[in-house]
Every structure is written in structure tokens, then in C-alpha cells.
Structure 1
Amino acid sequence: MTQDQISGRGWADQAVALIEADQRRSADTHLLKLETGFRGVDLYLKDESTHPTGSLKHRLARSLFLYALVNRKIREGVAVVEASSGSTAVSEAYFARMIGVPFYAVMPKSTSAEKIATIEHYGGRCHFVAPGVSLYEEAARLAESLGGHYIDQFTHAERATDWRGNNNIAESIFDQLAREQHPVPRWIVMSAGTGGTTATIGRYIRYKRLATRLLGVDPEFSAFFDGYAGNDRAATCEKPSRIEGIGRPRVEPSFIPEVIDEMVRVPDKAALGAMRALSHHLGRRVGGSTGSNMFALCWKAAEMIRNGEQGSLVSLICDSGERYSRTYYAQGWLADCGLDCAQSEADIEAFFATGILETPLQSARQD
């Protein structure tokens, strides 16, 4: 081994050590049990908003950086590029600053000022593209022009995380439920952005031979549900998702439909109504993807109650609602989008008290 190779290995070793030390300093996220007016079916939310960068994507970004480092894709001075205007870019900027490499987020010009400011706070640089330009292709082009690495969350999310354990989110959920009345949940409910988290949870359930089933959630404008229902990886959606962090225009490579037992499509007004109802219930704001999870969780819990079943269900608080004060929590924005979520908010509030939710959802199951 040459001196240059030794020097490069030393930098990578130090970078991995910095990221692992950060993980050890971070306590596991809380598993919250919701207070409801019914018995026999318990609802839990794992609060991923408490990560240092404020979202579930902190786990993904950590895994992506470690994966790229051990595969020698990120080296000293090499720029890291990502196609993301949301929470993934925020978290990746955090880890890039930690190990001292430049970070570029390729994003639409319409990205909110709050997201841009947060990425730049961590030292990231925002590279804007016009409508109609492929974020994927532009990120790959920019990385090549910089001599950098396109970290590509949409391809690598499902392989960067150790789905067998090693403190992944699935292992954490089951550890935290161990002393509860129903320690093995009937359902885990999870929306898809890259598909990496559903892949991790679904694989872990099968690896541990658990009776839990996985309910996938997709927003109104996204290709995942159609791809799942029609067994069509070429499915697309022309309209961009209005629920940040989840939903994609194509079926991403990291989306593994085979590990999902059932999938539902949650209308945006239902998701944002559930978001507001849950925020009121908790006394603090949550984001829109959490609302999608919450509506699907309540829908499945209501089905269990109607069928006389008992057990527990788990989903995630993906991020805080403070990032969405100018969108999901702004009446003007909702009006501009033609979204009236008042009825859905009232329906979820009533569900918390009664366990009754009659709203139908479009659903599909694996054979």
C-alpha cells in the first residue's frame, strides 16, 4: 500500500469515526403511545423529528454517507451531490459539514425559503433547476463536472441500511415495544419517499419471522401505489407530490413492493386534516408526511375495531411541522391548492374519541 493510499484510508477512517461518534451521542427517538377513547387497539408513533437535523431522513443520510465512505466513493475533498429539496438534503448537508466535504443539493427553483436556509445553515450549496428538468440527470451531471459523487438516495436507500438489525429503525421499534401489552404490532404503517424505510422494516419483519404486517402509504400524486397495485415498475405520475418527503414521479429503485403486505393511497386533504388533528392532540405541529401516515394508521385501526380485533399499530412522526408554516399550516396556501381539510380533521378528532372512521381509502394487497 502506497503512502497516498494510507493517507486516504486514514481520512476515511476518521470520517467514519466522526459519524459513528455522532450516532452514539444521539439517544434513540421516543416511541409515543397515543391517548384515545377506546380500548383494545393501541396506537404508537416513533418520533423521528427529534434527530439532530429534525427528521427521519437523518437516519438515511447517515447510512448513505457510511455506505459511500466504505465503498470509497467519498474521499477527502470530493464533493457530494444529491437530488433533493427536502429533509434528505438538510441531513446530508449536516454530515458533509461534519466530515469536511462540499455538499450540493440539486433542487427545483420553487423550493421553499425555509428549506434553502436550513441547507445553507449546514454549509450546503443549492443548485436550482427549471421546471421540466430532471433532478436525477442534473445531479449526475453536476457530480461529474465537479469530479464529485452523486450519492443518489433513490437508488441506494434500500441497500445502505443494515435491515437485519444494527440499531435500525425496525429493531428500535420492536425493542421499545417489548414491555407493552401488545409487543408485536399487528401493523406498521409507513409512507414511501425513496422506499428505503419500508424496505428496511419489511425485510426485518421477515428476517425475524414476526407476525407483523406492513401497510405502505402513498400520497395523492405519486407513482408508488400504481406501481404496487399493477405490479408495474414503469408506472409514473406527471404531477409532483404536494406532501413533501413522500411520493415520487416514478417507482424508485429503492422501493421494494414485495415486502409490503398492503398499500393505500391517502388523498392530500385527508393527510393534512390528520396532520392538523394529530398536532392538536400532541400539542405541537407535525409535518404532512406524518399526516399521511396518521390517516392510514387510523383507517387500519378502525378496521381492526370493526372486526373485533385487538393489538397495536405503529407509525412515524417523520418531521416537525415548523418547516411548513407557510404551506400546510397557511390557509392561503391551502386555498390556492384547492384543499379543504376541515372534514378530515374532524373525522380524525372523532376517531381519537370513538375508534370510528368510515372514510374509504383506495387499497391494494400483495398476492
Structure 2
Amino acid sequence: MIGIRFFKADASTYVMKTRAGRVNKAGKGLSFFYNSRTVSIAAIPMNAQEAPFVFNMQTADFQEVRVQGQLSFRVVDAPKTAEILNFTLDRTGTGYVSDDPMKLNERVIRVAQGIIQSRVQARALREVLKDSQAMLQALEVGLDEHKTLDAMGIEVLEVSLTAIKPNPETARALEAEARESILKEADDAIYQRRISSVEQERSIKEAELKTDYSVQQKEQEIAEQRIENGRKLMRGEIETRREEQRAKIESQKVTLTADIEAESERQMLIELRVQNRKQESDADAYGLKAQLEAINTLPAETLKTLVMGQLDSEQLIALAMENLSGNISSIGELNLSPDLLGQVFKKGMRQQ
């Protein structure tokens, strides 16, 4: 028959067959014959769709910024989508009678743009550039809770922000500022490193000075201890010398006492000897006196005879010579024999 066609949908397409304003069939992956003159078919894809976006916006400090990203979504309630958007196929069943299906991505992107725009306009450029993670979270929450998407039966599966960039001139200015900041941070790091090096050197010097001070203290303590030990040794030596001197003095005292006692005994002995000698002298003098008194009573010739009796031959010859010399005037001739003179000379030579 003229106008009778066959329609077959894949498993990811939701099909609604409508006749006279009433839905006869609805579901996924349907296939049927229909009269193109009296039946209209709405085919709504329910598979995931990708929607990349690039938004040029203005921040709170009137700076241009570009937000680039991508989201994926799918239709979860096809009847709701069909009520709002026209997914009716043409009579040939190969295309749509409206461009609403082609604008589905734009509708979802506009919702995302509104969420991002409200956040970008409330912040300065630097905050926006640093706010990517928070913006992504806000975008996810806003898309999940947005009434328009819920009314169209659309579910957002995933959202990603690939770039948030200012215009090239601003980017160069920010890069220069960032570069200067980085250079300043590098300089600060160099200064801090130098300061740290100086601090470390000072710490090392202080540690060395403390060590030297400790060593000097130890050396001073050792020197003081040596001096104290020397003093103790000197005291000990002095005490030893004193003890030796005391002992020596005591020994000398003992020796002196012994010498005094010895001298006293010697003096007593000498006195005793003197007394004895005096007594002996007195005895000798008394004997000599007695002899002299006895001799004085004897005649001269008798004394002379006694004396001559005690003389030896030489003394007798000398005495005779003396008598002869006294009577030399009356002597006519004197003869001396050689034997007599030889005996006298021999005895004299022996005595020499």
C-alpha cells in the first residue's frame, strides 16, 4: 500500500509511535510497520553524548578569561524530553522534522555556562585561575540540581574542565609577574640560604668559641690544680724539711747534750788530772826540797864527789878541761893522748 513503511530502532533509541494524538507504542528498539500519512514517530537517543564547550567570560575585575571543558549526558526520561523537544521523524524516517534534537547539546551547555558565569563574575582573575577544582565541583552540583535538565529528563554523567586561561596579553603580564615573583622567591631563597649559611657559620663559630672557652677553662683548672698540687708538694717538702730540721735540731741537741756531758766529764777529768798533777808536783817539790835541804847540809867536797861519781868519761874529761883552764897559769905542760881524743870525737859523731 502507498505510505506503508517499516521502522526499526536500535537498542539505545527510545521510540514513541503516535496516531491521532495518542501514543500507540513506546519503548526501546521497537520495529513495526506504519502508515506514514497517519502515524508520527518520535525517536529519542538514550545513549551518552559528549558536549565540549568553550566560554569567553569576564571576571569581577573586568578581565577576559576562557573556560574550556567537556561534559557527557544522556536522556533518562524520554517522554519528558519528547514533551519539551520535538524528536519527530519525517515521513521517510531518516531525519527529524525539527532542529530541536541538534540543539539538545546547546541547551545542556547553556545550563553549564550559566553556572560557570555566575561563579566567574563573582571573582577576580587570579581567583578564577586558581579556582578550577572548586569551579568543577560547583558545576557538577549545579548540573545535578538544575530544574531545566530534570524537566527535560536529562542526566549529566561527567563534567571536566580542561583549561581556564586569560587573554594572551593578560597571560603574558601574569607570566611576567609570576616570573618576577619566582625570581624574587629565588633571590629570597638565595638570601635565605646566605642568611642560613651565615647563621650556621655563626653557630659554628659560637660552638668553636664555646669549645675554646671550655678548653681554656679545663686548661685553667688543670693549671690551678697543678699549682695547688705544687703548693701541696712545697708544703710537704717544707714540712719534711721542718721535720728534718727538727730531727736535726733534736739530734744536735742530743749531740750537744752528749758533748756537754762529755765536756763536763772531760773537764772533771782534767780538773782531776790537774789536781793529781798538782799533788804529784807538790810531792816532787816536797821531795826535791827535802833533797836540797839534805844536800845543803853536806860538805862541798862530798857533793862534788857524789856528782862526779854519776858522770860518764866524756863529762869527766870536760870537767877536767874546765878545771885546767881555770888553773892554766900554773900548768907548764899538758899531754893529751890520741886515744882519749878519739873516744871523745867518736861519741860526738854518734850523737850527731
Which structure shows the bigger proportion of residues in helix conformation?
2
Larger radius of gyration: 2
Report which structure shows greater RCO (CA 8 Å, sep ≥6).
1
| TM-score normalised over the length of structure 1 | 0.17
